[in-house]
Chain A
Amino acid sequence: MARVLLNVPKTAKPGETVEVKLLISHPMESGQRKDESGQMVPRNIIHAFRCTYNGAEVLRLELHPAIAANPYLAFSFRAEKSGTVEMNWVDDEGVAGSASAALAVE
């Protein structure tokens, strides 16, 4: 399936609050389940997430178990001038994901 669905407005007025909505396709395995043979399924969740705007940090998250599969993140920040929203995250298996979108402030 698609890796991510990212929703950021294309334009904003200076100083306007911009909402970022991100849906990531990920199993978010809690590490507390057993498979058919009774073996523990190792934990595999997205544990670190960071969002920057023009290189400046907007949001940094440390995630823990008990978040459902395909997590949905929504947050907002104030945009003063045009730039790029960049998001990076990494899961317990070391697989990194990213998404970005351009925002025009006019």
Chain B
Amino acid sequence: MRLVLLLAAALLLGGAADKRSGYDDATQAVRAMQDDDSANPGMLWVEQGRTLWNQAVAGKSCATCHGVPEAMLGVAARYPRFAGRPITLPEQVNQCRTERQGAPALKEEGDEMLALTALIGLQSRGLPVAVDASSPAAQAALEQGHAIFDRRIGQLDLSCAQCHDRLAGQRLGGSRIPQGHPNGYPEYRLEWQGMGSLNRRLRGCMTGVRAEPFPPGSPELGALEFDLGWRANGLQVETPAVRP
């Protein structure tokens, strides 16, 4: 009886337990850097984010409507969010700025956007990713994203799924192939010597297989980010993560 219960529990947990964050595949040194907030360089952007949060542009700041940054508890875990189309967190910040604050949009790869999204992401650290794709329209976007994930692209003729689903956990050169979950963005990459968004990471992946990257703001990119977020459901948010 006990065995049956254990088996049932294992089956129930199976989905989430099989998921591995990039953290689990990183070296101990990289993990230590992420674990200690005074050693994690991503915290430099978080601190900048705190300043920007309270900085008024056109008479309003983020704090005017949202109050303290801590009020954003759990928000980042739900992004990309579906509202007619998948909306990523940087897109949401810009929508807020242009429509409600009356401020100019920020560049997605600029330090200011990375700082604000890192601050908002930090408020969800430790919470499970919870991307909602329950509506039929969201399901359609998810399917589109998944088709892109499965489609072979570029001169190397590789799909995301070939490495990050089927070969995850095995080695490519000296490093372990991660499952490719976006649960720590924006994140500090040692390779970049700086902070970057998921968008930048995907651009790196696509040029890596010698394909033309999707332009920022394109429906394909939105659908792919949505599918990746949904795929990571249940993993802990790690923003600002540190990765090699």
Binding site for B on A (CB under 8 A): 1-2, 5, 7, 21, 23, 25, 27, 68-70, 72, 74
Would you call A21 and B193 a contact (CB within 8 A)?
A: no
- The verdict on A68 contacting B44 (CB below 8 Å), with A1-B111, A7-B38, A21-B38 known, is no
Count of chain B residues with Cβ under 8 Å from any Cβ of A?
15
- Pull 19 A–B residue pairs with CB atoms less than 8 Å apart, ordered by A: A1-B44, A1-B115, A2-B45, A2-B47, A5-B38, A5-B43, A5-B44, A7-B38, A21-B36, A21-B38, A23-B38, A25-B41, A68-B193, A69-B193, A70-B41, A70-B44, A70-B193, A72-B39, A74-B39
Smallest distance from the beta carbon of B240 to chain A beta carbons, Å? Answer: 11
Closest to A24 in B: B44
Smallest distance from the beta carbon of B112 to chain A beta carbons, Å? Answer: 9
Closest to A72 in B: B39
B8 within 8 A of A: no
Would you call B193 and A23 a contact (CB within 8 A)?
A: no
Smallest distance from the beta carbon of B96 to chain A beta carbons, Å? Answer: 21
Smallest distance from the beta carbon of B231 to chain A beta carbons, Å? Answer: 30
B94 within 8 A of A: no
B44 cross-chain contacts in A, Cβ below 8 A? 1-2, 5, 23, 25, 70
Separation of A2 and B118 alpha carbons in the complex (Å): 13
